[in-house]
Structure 1
Amino acid sequence: MSGTAEDATDATTKRQRRGNTRQRIQDVALELFAEQGYEKTSLREIAERLDVTKAALYYHFKTKEDILVGLSQDLQRPIDELIEWAGTQPRTLDTKREILRRYSVALADVAPLFRFMQENQAAVRELSVGESFKDRMIRLIDTIKEPDAALTDQVRCTSALFTMHAGMFALRDVEGDPEEKRQAVLEVAIDLVTQAHAGAQSPGKPPKSS
């Protein structure tokens, strides 16, 4: 019995070590991607900064895209969970506001990754993660947009999410508390969705001009 327990402990330790190594590779790769761009970063440079051999790196990731896919899961996972949660809730304004709040937190939690994706849009768009992120954005927009919404209200809902994206990027170098900046961007996004929701509740009324 003791031998079995020791084997189990060894197996757990090895899994943890592999997990830690994968995380270190992803962290260092993201640093390099952010510093010099995805396309200009090589696996050799990632291995050198980690002070490991390329063979050791290949054990975990065969290509740069594999690393990026692993990184993107940190953003995709909360989005998938949010979309699933939204599907169980009534399509009320409170639900839509909560969707935006939760998405704002998810973006803040992976800010370095999202900044990289914003700065390397051309490269990311050509990779599988780009298409995957686009699909998730479409599904997420559907959670805050009414199916029969007027075109202006569809634009408002789409703009709400991209306001959160652009706000995180544009306000990066603006002085101020990061949390206050996040809340300001969130407030604008909520205002857009609130207007869209009001329009959906009163389809006979023309949208109000600002």
Structure 2
Amino acid sequence: MAERRSDTRQRIQQVALELFTEQGYDKTSLREIAERLEVTKAALYYHFKSKEDIVTALIEDMRGDVTEVVEWASDLPRTPEHRAEIVRHIPTVLTRSMPLLRFAQVNETALRDHPHGADLGQLMWQLLMLLSDEDADAEHQLRSVLAMAALMIGMVPLPIITAPAPERMGAAVKVALELVTGQIQSA
């Protein structure tokens, strides 16, 4: 029974994110989410009392994933090999969090103004900082930022990058690895 409830919560989150992305967070109502799900508003209220509760649950999921990687990576020495390990872990987090990242792109103010949005942003910065050293020169720090950007861009279909998602993500990881290790990666 708990598994069914979890599936229902995930379906609500998925549909809500679709609507938030299509129409915008502010222009989407709980009634519209319930209608798309073909459930009553009361059934939706059983799981989430507000749109903010839906976004909070999504942020908490992503925050847990990012925290796990940050805690693991914080214990690693700052070597090119360990930065490469971190780069290889980030796509898993981004893949699970892609719907929330798309929501954030379209509804930047809703996430920025959300009580937990700043916490998530801070965690993402911690993750980024693990790809660099505080005392590194500007070029090294820039490479770290560009590595994270490459990973995030690799997640999103773009008209200029026509490769299928797995190939696109593989290319993004390769580029990110080159940036954080300073070594050209073989195919």
Q: Identify the TM-score tier after normalising by the shorter chain.
A: 0.7 to 0.9
In the alignment, what sits opposite 2:43? Answer: 56
Give yes or no for contact 1:100–1:190 (8 Å, CA) kept in 2. yes
Deviations 1:154-177, CA, capped at 9 Å, x for gaps: 222122212322342353773222
Shift of 1:84: 1.1
| CA shift in 2, pair 1:21/1:173, >3 Å | farther
- TM-score normalised by structure 1 residue count: 0.77
Deviations 1:52-80, CA, capped at 9 Å, x for gaps: 22222222212212101212333222211
Q: Which amino acid aligns with 2:140?
A: D
Q: Does 1:150 align with 2:168?
A: no
Shift of 1:110: 3.4
Moved more, 136-145 or 68-77: 68-77
Distance in 2, matches of 1:35 and 1:101, equals: 31
In the alignment, what sits opposite 2:81? Answer: 94
In the alignment, what sits opposite 1:191? Answer: 178
| CA shift in 2, pair 1:174/1:156, >3 Å | closer
Please tell me the root mean square deviation across aligned C-alpha atoms, in Å: 2.2
Q: How does 1:1-210 map to 2 (within 5 A)?
A: 13=1, 15-169=2-156, 171=158, 174-195=161-182
Higher relative contact order (CA 8 A, sep 6+): 2
- TM-score normalised by structure 2 residue count: 0.85
Shift of 1:21: 2.2
Q: Which amino acid aligns with 1:131?
A: A
Give yes or no for contact 1:68–1:129 (8 Å, CA) kept in 2. no
Could you list the runs of 5+ residues in structure 2 that have no partner in the other structure? none
Give yes or no for contact 1:118–1:169 (8 Å, CA) kept in 2. no
- What is the total number of aligned residue pairs between the two structures? 183
Distance in 1, matches of 2:180 and 2:93, equals: 18
Moved more, 171-180 or 46-55: 171-180
Shift of 1:113: 3.0
Distance in 2, matches of 1:37 and 1:95, equals: 39
Shift of 1:114: 2.2
Percent sequence identity over aligned pairs: 45
Give yes or no for contact 1:156–1:192 (8 Å, CA) kept in 2. yes
Distance in 1, matches of 2:115 and 2:85, equals: 29
